[in-house]
Amino acid sequence: MAALLAAVLVVVVGPSTSAGADSTQLYVYQVSAPTDAVAQRLFDEGFDVLEDRTGTDLFVLGDAATSRQLRAAGFQPTIIQRLKPTGWAPPSTRLVPNSAAPAVAPIDETYYGGYHTVVAQYAHLTSVATAHPDLATVVDYGDSYLKTTNAATGYDLKAICITHIQAGDCALNPNVAKPRFVLMAQIHAREIVTGDIAWRFIDYLAGGYGSVAAVTNLLNSTEVWVIPTVNPDGVDEVQQGGNSPYLQRKNRHGTGCANPPTGSNQLGVDLNRNTVTHWDTTGTTNGRCTQTYPGSSADSEPETKAIEGLFRQLFADQRGPADGAAAPVTTRGAMITMHSYAGMNLFPWGWSNTHTGNDGALRSIAAHMSQLNGYDYGQPGEILYNASGTSDDWSYGELGIASFTIEMASCGSFIPAHSCTATDYNNNLPVLMYVAGIAGAPYQQ
């Protein structure tokens, strides 16, 4: 039966996978990068290096020309995946907030088989806070780049604070009674499973208080802050691809790049390369249209400034400025920023293989995360590649809080079928609950 089914599938799938050459066809190339220096050269040459690694091989997204460029640069690329052609379906309507007469209720707006739009994410935050005023409050912590340039475009930047609210809880002040855990999603817009994991986590907490003991205990003791779309301008661009989402990674600051964006040519600044922490020293590219362009200066982007400002309102600075300084064992606070699709648990430093002053505790926490979700763990330079100016290096480096990146497995794709979000969510809910649960004293684990 299985063999018969397989034979039928081959017949069905065969024609579409043998489609003719297409200049807009995208490929994933596997490239050997046996040393840090070779890995860095991929960034220096401007290639779109994906957040994935197998052994000492890295992966590059590009079109047919990218293969020639890689070979010219001395690499030996192998095609391992053929993505959907970029002759995409007409973009969906740009879904700006407050648009008149939306086709569906804002909270129901989806694209690509169920992924929530920015408007839906924000309507969801409002809906949860309205339904659970004892548990949740929404904070507008700034404006996206496009909104700073024109109030009619772009988005507010929004977070939700979830806890069993007592007097003083969720205040924008680091001196509060409860420790805090922050979960960030979609700083890289095209890593779309992460936004929906944030959505599901919010519902799990708001719906579980009083009925799920672990949730009740967590929300009685801890503030959980969730930012479902750190980069809403970028997510808006992704969703305009409709059933073929655009692979926009960065924010939307800039001009003169491919429009609509492609996987290898797009305007914007990589918000996960833009922080001041060893800014533009490794894992970055110089071309404005490349994927890891770090911006014209450290902290140049409104989204970066706004989220750093929010973090400074939520957490006291608990670590000295030297790279090797340890945050004390009394440090409070933890954060996770979600990316895709390497299937890894990462911790600082990302700018170097140098260990932090809290390496023992961070590594121990990451090891436990890996027991829960089955991913590899390590510093980025140990199992992925070095990258500077990242948000978790910044939150650890500036404030001392325990900071982690989870690279969701995401079914091996930036844009998997929506059903994949359930798999990633189920695999990682225990990790989110675990790290939230140790926010009161992460370095005493």
Residues that bind Zn ion (CB under 5 A): 188, 191, 339
Q: Kindly state the DSSP code that residue 257 receives in the 8-state scheme.
A: S
Return the closest-CA partner of residue 235 out of 376, 109, 61, 379. 109
Token pair in block for residue 411: 């079914």
Amino acid at 336: I
Name which of 347 and 443 has its Cβ closer to Zn ion: 347
Tell me the closest approach of the beta carbon of residue 43 to Zn ion, in angstroms. Answer: 14
Tell me the closest approach of the beta carbon of residue 290 to Zn ion, in angstroms. Answer: 15
Name which of 42 and 361 has its Cβ closer to Zn ion: 42
Q: Is 388 exposed, middle or buried (0-12, 13-18, 19+ CB in 10 A)?
A: buried
CB 293 within 8 A of CB 286: yes
Task: For residue 414, give Cα distances in angstroms to 186, 225, 237, 342.
Answer: 11, 25, 14, 10
Name which of 76 and 81 has its Cβ closer to Zn ion: 81
**CA gap 305, 204 in Å, rounded:** 30
Return the closest-CA partner of residue 119 out of 152, 158, 145. 158
Helix (H) or strand (E) holding 435: helix 420-437
Block residue for tokens 């004293």? 441
Name which of 331 and 390 has its Cβ closer to Zn ion: 390
Tell me the closest approach of the beta carbon of residue 128 to Zn ion, in angstroms. Answer: 26
Tell me the closest approach of the beta carbon of residue 135 to Zn ion, in angstroms. Answer: 30
Tell me the closest approach of the beta carbon of residue 173 to Zn ion, in angstroms. Answer: 30
**CA gap 382, 396 in Å, rounded:** 18
Tell me the closest approach of the beta carbon of residue 362 to Zn ion, in angstroms. Answer: 20
Tell me the closest approach of the beta carbon of residue 39 to Zn ion, in angstroms. Answer: 16
> What count of other Cβ atoms lies within 10 Å of the Cβ of residue 355?
15
Q: What sign has the CA pseudo-torsion 23, 28, 30, 36?
A: positive
Name which of 147 and 339 has its Cβ closer to Zn ion: 339
DSSP for 161-213? EES---TTTT-SSS--SS-EEEEE--SSTT-THHHHHHHHHHHHHHHHTTTSH
Name which of 158 and 188 has its Cβ closer to Zn ion: 188
**CA gap 417, 428 in Å, rounded:** 18
Tell me the closest approach of the beta carbon of residue 390 to Zn ion, in angstroms. Answer: 9
**CA gap 439, 431 in Å, rounded:** 13
Name which of 188 and 253 has its Cβ closer to Zn ion: 188
Tell me the closest approach of the beta carbon of residue 405 to Zn ion, in angstroms. Answer: 8
